[in-house]
Amino acid sequence: MRVTEQQVFGFLLNNYQRARSRALELQEHLATGKQVLQPSDDPGRFHRIVGEKTTLAKLEQHLRNVGAANTRVDLADTSLQGTTTTLSRMRQLAVQYASDTNGAADRATGGHEIKELLQHLLQLGNTEFDENQPVFGGTSRHGFAEGLALATPVTVTNAVADTLTVKVDGVTSGTIDLTGGTETLGGPELAARVQSRINADSALVAAGKSVSVTYAEDRLAISSNSEGPTSKVEVVGGSARTLLGFNGGSAGVGTATFVTTVTTDAAAANSGGALISQGEIVNASATSFDNYAVSFTGPGSFDIVNISAPVTVTANSANAGRLGPIDAGIIDPQRITLDTYEVQFTSASQYSVLNTTTGATLSTGNSYVSGGAIEFDGLRVVLANGQQGGPATGDRFSVAVTPETVRSNQSYTSGGPIVFDGIQLSITNGASAPAAGDLFRVVAHTKYAGDSGSHLVEVADGEVISTNVPGDRAFSGSTVNLFDTAQRLLAALRGNFKAGIVESLGDLDRAISQVSAALGTIGAVTNRLESTSVALQESKDVATNQLSSFEDIDLARTISDLTLQEYAIQAAGATLGRLFDNSLLKHLR
């Protein structure tokens, strides 16, 4: 077979081009550091590289998840540590001001610091991980209306007491009918019934509004299913309003995990037929955390008084015995009447308690014990024998709350807003207008507005870790509500009530233990995240090395191969040059 010069030339040219192409490929490998740049380079190896990159991407995402979780957990830990420090300082103050060396002025001064510490507690409880991401609020925050305590089961009766009217996120429902007959319902059954009937209301359905209703601590709570500042619920009417505890109660919007609010209620002795709305705080910076009462001086006028005040006990000038008051204060602000009372000794060992405003005898034949508590209508009085003896028959002690007037002689308008000290409520005519002497109480309270949701982070395929402690467990748990404890201590200091200060010590100890338990949970989560992070990093290192073994070039070998290709290019070029020199073209020149 004859080999022509054209065939030889073509063969050499192909070799030269392949060498150039291979050299360019090797240069690209050197520039990128990768030996497989496209599937055609090595289909099997390329498939392994894609798999390793997918694994590596998952590991990196899980590490980012753990990093974000660590930030959230660190915030929770810092907040809980700060909470423990704040509670410990409150306890120090309680011990200090429980001493008999302090008077009313001293304890009022201590109350100023307790108020600041309480505000700091609220800041800690409302810590946010990021904008609108509460650390202790579960997964969201909801506006609510919480009623007063109920005695269950509750009987709802058609056309007698079976309707409600609610306002959800500003949308007012129609008349919600709870039953077509007579039904006696327990707490959970009642909550389920109220929820289903509210959520079936056509006006609310048309507006896309719905609620969740729960029954806890003997109270119904209606929460909007929307979130944030516009999330709000009000019970504004209905024949079952009082029956279900909504002639009063508290309300708040979903702006914070722990909402500072006030609980309102109507005194049982009211002779008028007015109804009071749920109370709420509309200006948190103006709130004093005090307790108040709205006292009607007539059907068209009222006073507002601050009842976080001392209880005075005055011995009658004609007393023959040798005993005196050693302590007095308010133990239940939602039972306060503002009436005056008298403790009358019917013998040296027995006494009666009279309401001198109404003339009613509250109790009689009570056994007297020196230093023992005498309790009635939310008040506690402690009398003790002197060095020269005890009570004598006929001894009398007058008892009265000495409230501070906040607003006086206010004009009443049914349904009109009543605003004072950052608080807003309204009183409306019900069966009738309010009467002179009617009393409506307004008591400071803090309510958890979060939910029970968990912040879950994925740390492996199908494996998640919960990274939060719900605030209703750490701050307002089943053991004690930290904020209410602080508010009671504040009221005791402002009311110069030694026993109330002493009793707060036990609640503060329980509060510290409750927060410590939450810190233990957070610590366990921190340890798990740390060990998970270490394991993920080790897996990432293995995956990175594995990917490198599939993807990265052998630098020395690649340089050697490139050098050989350059030699091959030079040789092929020289051969082609010589072949060109021996061709007919050269002779034709």
Integer CA distances (angstroms), 321 to 243, 342, 419, in order = 48, 16, 47
Q: E strands of 430-571, at which residues? A: 439-448, 456-460, 463-466
Write out pLDDT tens, residues 474-508.
Answer: 898 778 999 999 999 999 999 999 999 999 999 99
Half-sphere exposure of 491 (CA within 13 A, CB side): 27
Which fold would CATH assign to domain 34-136+456-474+503-552? Answer: f41 fragment of flagellin, N-terminal domain (1.20.1330)
Task: Provide the pLDDT for residue 558.
Answer: 46
Two structure tokens written together for 383: 């009398």
Domain boundaries, the chain: 34-136+456-474+503-552, 144-299+407-455+475-487, 311-401
Secondary structure string (H, E, C) spanning 234-299 = EEEECCCCCCCCCCEEEEECECCCEEEEEEEEECCCCCCCCEECCEEECCHHHCCCCCEEEEEEEC
Confidence of residue 567 (pLDDT cuts 50, 70, 90): low
Angstrom distance (rounded) from CA 160 to CA 174? 17
What angle separates helix 498-551 from helix 482-494, to the nearest 10 degrees? 150
- Mean pLDDT value across residues 143-171: 95
pTM of the entire structure? 0.82
Q: What residue type is assigned to position 334 of the chain?
A: Q
Write out pLDDT tens, residues 34-79.
Answer: 555 555 555 555 556 556 667 777 878 888 888 888 888 899 999 9
Angstrom distance (rounded) from CA 407 to CA 305? 7
Query: What DSSP line would sit under 122-171, residue for residue?
Result: HHHHT-EEETTEESSSTT----EEE-----SSEEEETTTB-EEEEEETTE
Task: Provide the pLDDT for residue 66.
Answer: 82
Q: E strands of 319-378, at which residues? A: 323-330, 340-345, 350-355, 360-367, 373-376
Task: Provide the pLDDT for residue 38.
Answer: 56
For the chain, helix, strand, coil in percent to 5 are 40, 30, 30
Q: What residue type is assigned to position 491 of the chain?
A: A
Confidence of residue 458 (pLDDT cuts 50, 70, 90): confident
Task: Provide the pLDDT for residue 1.
Answer: 47
- Name 558's Cβ contacts closer than 8 Å, sequence gap at least 6: 26, 29, 30, 35
C-alpha angle with apex 502: 496 to 506, nearest 5 degrees? 145
Integer CA distances (angstroms), 159 to 96, 176, 202, 248, in order = 57, 12, 20, 22
- Mean pLDDT value across residues 373-398: 94
